[in-house]
Amino acid sequence: MSSIEWTNDLERETVQHFKELIRINTSAPAGNESEGARYLADVLRAEGIESEIVESEPGRGNLLAKIQGGPEPPLLLISHLDVVPASLDQWIHPPFAAVEEDGWIYGRGALDTKNLVTMELMAFILLKRASKGKALNRDVYLIATADEEQGSRKGMEYLVRHHPEWFPSGWVINEGGGFYVTAGDKDYMLITAGEKGVCKATLFATGQGGHASCPPEEQAIEKLARAIEHITAYSFPEEIVGVGKRFLDILGTAEMDAALQDLRRYVLRNSVTVNAVAGGERINVIAYKAQAQIEFRLLPHVSQAKVEALLEEWCTQFGISYQIDSFEPGFESSLEDSELVNACASQLREHDPEATLLPILALGRTDGRFLGARGSDVYGFSPLLPQLPFADVLRKVHNHNEAIPVSSLLFGTKVIAETLRQICLDS
C-alpha cells in the first residue's frame, strides 16, 4: 500500500495541534489534564472517531479512543498529558506560549510528552483516513493519561484498575525512546523494550544512647554510617541477559562515548542509592536509633527474594535490620521477530538507511509498567532527528527552555504514522 502523502497542509495541521496542546497548562501537581483531553476529543470527533474522557477526580482527565479492527494483536498508543512545573523567570519564551523561533517550538512538555501525544494523535487520525472505510487488521487504541509525572495514581494506575477493558494484552508504543546515539562511526536509534524494577527499603540501626560528653561504644549512627559506606561503594556484577545482551550484540566492538557507557552500565547492572537518612535530634545527645531509606533499581529478572538475600547479608555484617517498603518488578518486551519492532526499523530506514534500532531499558518508570505487567510488549519510540541526540534530550527534558525542532516533530509523526499503516492495514 502506498505511503501517506505528506502535504504542507498536513504538516501545518500537525504543528497546530502540537502548539495548542503546549498552550494548555497541564502542570503537576494540579494537572488540569481534562482540558487537554477535551481538546483531543474535539479533534477526534471532527474525524468521526468517538472517545471517552475518564476523570479519576475533577480536572484529572484521561482520554481513551479506539478504532475497531480485526483479530490481530491490538496496538495501544499511550502518552501522558501532564507536564512538570516550569519556572517562568528562567525561560527565554513563556513555557505555555508555544513560541516558534529558528525552527524550534518552545514549551513545557515539548519533549515529555506532548510531542508524543501529537505524533500518536496524528498517526491515529491518519490511519483512520487511510483505511477509507476498510477494516483494520487489529484494534488500535489511543490513550493520553493524567498524572504520569507524579506516579500515575490518577492516570494509568487508575485506568487499569477501574477500566481494564481498555487495556488488552498486545503491543504498546510508549515514551522513552526514539533518540539518536553514535557508536564509532555508526548511528543508532534507541528503542526501549522494558523497564527496571524498583525496590524501596528502610535500614534500622540501634545502639546505646547517652550524653555526647561520654559516648558509648556501640552507637546507632556509627553502625548505620558504616553500612551506608559499604552500600554506596558496592558494585553489582554485570548480567548479560535479555535487553542488555541484545544491546551488546548490536554494538559489538564499536567505541562508546560517555553517554553510551552510562547506558551500558544501566542495562547490565542493578544499582542502589541511599536517598534519606535520619537519626539524632540534639547536638549533645547520642541517638539510640537511626535509619536510612534506600532504593534499588533492578534488572527485570531480579526477584524480591534476591534483594532480601543481599539485605540480610549487609545487615548481618553491620548489625542492623531492614524492612522492605515496596517492591515493583521490572519487565522486558519481546525482541524476537517482533512485527512492531521490525516495522519501526523498516520505517526508520526509509528516512535513514544507515540507522539501526538499539534496544535499552527505559530510564526511570513510565506508564508502560502497568501494561508490561499485564502481558503487553511495550516499546518506547518517539523518533527525533539526529539534530537532537539522546544526550541533548536528557539536558532539555524537565529543564527550562524545553523545545523541539519542528523538523523532528514532523519526522516522528511520519515514522509512527507509516509504522501504523504498515502493520494495521493489509497490503
Contacts of 106 (CB under 8 A, 6+ apart): 91, 92, 93, 95, 97, 98, 99, 100, 401, 402, 403
Q: What does the pLDDT look like over 121-148, one tens digit per residue?
A: 999 999 999 998 899 999 999 999 999 9
Q: Are 177 and 360 in contact (CB under 8 A)?
A: yes
**What is the C-alpha to C-alpha distance for residues 78 and 380, in angstroms, rounded to an integer?**
10
Mean pLDDT rounded to a whole number for the chain: 96
Span 257-266, average pLDDT: 93
Torsion of CA 391, 393, 399, 405, to 10 degrees: 140
Hey, what domains does the chain have and what are their CATH numbers? 8-191+330-424 (3.40.630.10), 197-328 (3.30.70.360)
Name the pLDDT band for 107 (thresholds 50, 70, 90): very high
Q: What is the pLDDT of residue 210?
A: 72
**What is the C-alpha to C-alpha distance for residues 229 and 274, in angstroms, rounded to an integer?**
10
Positive/negative CA dihedral, 133, 136, 140, 142: negative
Q: What does the pLDDT look like over 154-176, one tens digit per residue?
A: 999 999 999 999 999 999 999 99
Who wins on pLDDT, 34 or 209? 34
Q: Are 410 and 19 in contact (CB under 8 A)?
A: no
User: What share of the chain in percent tops pLDDT 70?
Assistant: 99
**Sheet with 104-106: strands ordered across:** 100-101, 104-106, 403-405
Residue 197 has pLDDT above 90, yes or no: yes
Q: Which amino acid, 70?
A: G
**What is the C-alpha to C-alpha distance for residues 267 and 263, in angstroms, rounded to an integer?**
6
Residue 2 has pLDDT above 80, yes or no: no
CA distances from 238 to 241, 266, 273, 307, 341 (A): 9, 10, 17, 16, 26
Residue 160: name the closest of 68, 77, 56 by CA.
56
Cell of 123: 498517526
Residue 6: name the closest of 418, 426, 427 by CA.
418
List the single range of 63-77, 92-106, 273-287 with lowest mean pLDDT.
273-287
Residue 182: name the closest of 332, 366, 352, 337 by CA.
352
How many residues does the structure list for the chain?
Answer: 427
Q: What is the pLDDT of residue 211?
A: 67
Q: What is the pLDDT of residue 1?
A: 47
Name the pLDDT band for 407 (thresholds 50, 70, 90): very high
Q: What does the pLDDT look like over 336-389, one tens digit per residue?
A: 889 999 999 999 999 999 999 999 999 999 999 999 999 999 999 999 999 999
pTM: 0.95
Torsion of CA 234, 236, 237, 239, to 10 degrees: 180
Would you give the end-to-end CA distance of the chain in angstroms? 5
Span 267-284, average pLDDT: 94
Q: What is the pLDDT of residue 256?
A: 92
Q: What is the pLDDT of residue 282?
A: 87
Q: What does the pLDDT look like over 26-82, one tens digit per residue?
A: 999 988 999 999 999 999 999 999 999 999 999 999 999 999 999 999 999 999 999
Name the pLDDT band for 427 (thresholds 50, 70, 90): very low
Q: What is the pLDDT of residue 305?
A: 98
